[in-house]
Amino acid sequence: FCGPPKTVPHASLRLNKQYNVGQVLHFKCQSGYDKGPLTSGTRTCKKVNGKIIWTPLNMRCTNDSS
């Protein structure tokens, strides 16, 4: 199992109690914020070299008006 993932500023995620290996999370920017181009809002729970980790998230939610 993966533990709870780190949160992203201005993004929402429905949290579960446990996360299985292979589970994919979809982060969504909150209203008024936009996901930058060429970024992915997903993370996957993976087993790498015997460790269970979340894949990195390169998403950043920015304010539309800036």
pLDDT at 66 over 60: no
Per the structure block, which two tokens stand in for 62? 């920015």
pLDDT digits (tens, 9 = 90+) for 44-61: 999 999 999 999 888 888
pLDDT digits (tens, 9 = 90+) for 8-46: 888 888 777 778 999 998 888 888 888 877 777 889 999
Q: Check: CB of residue 59 under 8 Å from CB of residue 27.
A: yes
Per the structure block, which two tokens stand in for 23? 């589970």
Domain spanning 11-57, CATH class:
mainly beta
